Amino acid sequence: LANTSANTSANANAPSARAFLQAAANQSAGGQNYDALDHYQTVLRTLKEGINAGNEGAQHASLMAIRALRLADAQPLYEQLLAGDSWTLRVDGLLGLAELATPARIDLAKLEQLPGERDREAAISAALALNLADAEQVRTMLGWVDLSSSQRVLLAAELRRLGGSPDTATLVRLANSKTPEVSGLAVAILIDMQAKEAAPLESKARDQVAALPVSTRSAVVAQIAEASTACRLAGAARFVATLLSLPDLSEDARMRGLGSLLVLSAADAFPVLDAAVKADSSQSSLVRHASVLLASGVRAPAEQWARFRNGDAMLESIADAGTAIASNDDAGGFAKIVELERRVLMRAALDGARRMGPD
């Protein structure tokens, strides 16, 4: 997901918020340190387990461990895998070679030569997730005629993230897809591009999602929200907000969608947050929504945190922490979260600190 920007702390000599939180987390759960890992031994153990297991899933885990080491000596192994019979290992070989390149880039010629459609789809998705394709490569892939609509819309969204403008006619065709997650993301891209074609398609896409069965609707809304945020389609934030206002969304989908929208555009997310808290002001709801706001890394103003105040000591402390962070008192704010000794809140604070940046 896209990261929110953050100002540096007023006290330049203070320890980073992330370091402070991680140290506190390491002291919890009986003093066990979950962060101090011997990475070499971890990778070696994963490799041994994968080799001994002898199945594709475990082998893939082993190859991910090898790839993480960025070993130039592994190039012959990757080339051998690329020429092998297993489609998952072919993809690992292709990605391993891409990660050894300088800069790390997928080889499109090798990608095109993958023998199966499943190979290519998996390789394209992984290359985008790992940022292994530049804008020119994404444009080239968009020119391929045998892409599925889901692959094409993901490539178009990635091109937009990289600062490009995908072909409008192609996006209009995708926006008319009968697959709601494809049409919804295509509409989001068109809106972000400020294309005149977006307006009539926006309501159509929303109606298409609204007509889905509840469980499917929830999953699609969460997918569109997360993809829009990952590709930084800030111009589409209002559209995402309208999707989150659809009725009967699952709790998981609403929280995922709200968290994504907060990262994408806090101004558009605050009314959604306000409506959610007014609809359910129970203690558990207030804690859940406060945790989502904390995890977003947004320096929300004091009035946004005030909605969680109800006289309860824990919620008052969370609101005080958020208000302190909004004022760039990161150490003070995160210290209040640590004092609460709640694992969920600690996890949310760590996620928020990561999104705020290394300081």
Query: If you ran DSSP here, which 8-state letter would residue 85 be given?
Result: S
Model confidence pLDDT, tens digit, residues 300-321: 999 999 999 999 999 999 999 9
* 236-242 mean pLDDT: 98
Model confidence pLDDT, tens digit, residues 31-61: 444 455 566 666 556 655 655 555 566 677 7
Model confidence pLDDT, tens digit, residues 157-182: 999 999 999 999 999 999 999 999 99
Instruction: State how far the alpha carbon of 186 is from the alpha carbons of 107, 128, 131, 141, 153, in Å.
Output: 26, 17, 20, 17, 6
Which pTM does this prediction carry?
0.82
Q: What is the DSSP string of 269-301?
A: HHHHHHHHHHH--SHHHHHHHHHHHHHHT----
Model pLDDT, residue 2: 38
Q: What is the DSSP string of 145-214?
A: TT--HHHHHHHHHHHHHTT----HHHHHHHHT-SSHHHHHHHHHHHHHTT-TTHHHHHHHHHHHHHTS-H
Distance of CA 33 to the CA centre of its chain: 26
CA distance 107 to 132: 9
